[in-house]
Amino acid sequence: MADFPWPAGAATGIGSLPGTDVAEAQRIVLGELPELPHLPELPARGPGADLIGRAAGFLVEMPVQLYAGRWQMAPRPGRDLRRTADLLERDLDQLTAQADGFAGPVKVQSAGPWTLAASLDLQIGGRLLRDPGAVRDLTGSLAEGLRRHVDEVRRRLPRATVLLQLDEPSLPTVLAGRVPTESGLGAYRPVEAVDAAGGLRTVVEAAGVPVIVHSCAPSVPLQVVRDAAAAAVALDLSLVKDLDPVGEAIEAGLGLFVGAAPATGSAVTGKQVAERVRTLWNRLGFPIERLPRQVVVTPACGLAGATAPYVRAVLSACREAGRRLSED
């Protein structure tokens, strides 16, 4: 079995948390997820803290700006990018201060190239996805920017091992040709699976660290994730309908970040979360001793829409579930 870059029985969060207090968010993550903490994202802080604006801030020599409430390509860097950079700097400062001396794996997140391409507007109108050349430029720019980001986190936490999560909620719709055009009357042509995997692989190879591809949308393209040379896939367990691709991915050595605890709603216990993961594993038919090494327990998706008490409860339940699974 492959050696995975996280401890057995690990649990982590997907990324986003509610509120605007990054210091408190970082304390919660380090306290509740000590074996695999992540850099929290707080979209409630506004533009530049949202999924697309934050990721666009990593682009090298491809500035963006807000226009009519949407992110679009810009002729030069402006105040929107300065705000994005300032928010990220504050986040990294808190991570540096609170995780000083941390020696385990730590996860950082960014939207991936296909979600960015499906969300950013060209200055001339339409999504960047419409222009294959622009998509290639964006992919290379994001790859370089995330390489720099990973290096910065390594510099700040020299004893830690960095993992990178690429959030790709739009990847299934990009592959299916369901990204709507500006008018809403049509859709952009589908991207071939080989091209989608190639774009992701460009980022994976540039990052130089293990990469998790996350999508809490239905029909996660597991073969594309595997072909991109990712270390793991993160998905919402409640949306998994076909177990065969999951089993094939596990057999091939892909790590599995299982979203087994609801991101909102009624609280669940660690015992309940562990049972959900164990049931999936038993249905797949793999040896139980393999589970705690290959699987990481997570909430189903980001927690930006949850209450603060629920966040603590669900992260604690994920951690307890990981412990229970490692003791099986």
- Domains recognised in the chain with CATH numbers: 22-327 (3.20.20.210)
Question: CA-CA distance, 202 to 303, in Å (whole number)?
Answer: 29
Q: What is the mean pLDDT of residues 34-43?
A: 98
Cβ neighbours of 245 (radius 10 Å) = 16
Interval 226-237: pLDDT, tens: 999 999 999 999
Tokens of 255: 């790590």
At 161-175, the pLDDT tens digits run: 999 999 999 999 999
- Report yes or no on whether pTM surpasses 0.95: yes
Q: Contact 200/112 with Cβ under 8 angstroms?
A: yes
- Buried-state track 130-142, b at ≥16 Cβ within 10 A, e below 16: beeebbbebbbbb
Q: What is the mean pLDDT of residues 62-89?
A: 96
For the segment 269-298, the average pLDDT, to the nearest whole number, is 96
pLDDT of residue 182: 84
Tens of pLDDT along 193-204? Answer: 999 999 999 999
For residue 216, pLDDT beyond 60: yes
How far, CA to CA in Å, does 64 sit from each of 7, 79, 83, 113? 38, 10, 12, 15
* pLDDT value at residue 267: 83
Locus of tokens 């990469």: 211
What mean pLDDT comes out for the span 11-38? 97
Which run of H or of E encompasses 32?
helix 22-32
The residue-averaged pLDDT of 241-255 equals: 95
Q: What is the pLDDT of residues 260-280, one digit of tens each?
A: 999 998 889 999 999 999 999
What's the whole-number mean pLDDT along residues 137-158? 98
User: Are 292 and 9 contacting, i.e. CB atoms less than 8 angstroms apart?
Assistant: yes
DSSP 8-state secondary structure symbol assigned to residue 43: G
Alpha-carbon Rg for the chain in angstroms:
19
Q: How far apart are CA 156 and CA 307, in angstroms?
A: 30
pLDDT the model gives residue 1: 52
pLDDT reading at 46 higher than 90 = yes
Secondary structure element (H or E) that encloses residue 2, with its range: none
Q: Residue 63's pLDDT band (boundaries 50, 70, 90)? A: very high
Alpha-carbon gap, residue 59 to 65, rounded angstroms: 12
**Residue 114: pLDDT above 90?**
yes
Decide: 126 and 120 in contact? Cβ < 8 Å.
no
Cα end-to-end distance, the chain, whole Å: 18
- Identify the sign of the CA torsion 102, 106, 109, 114: positive
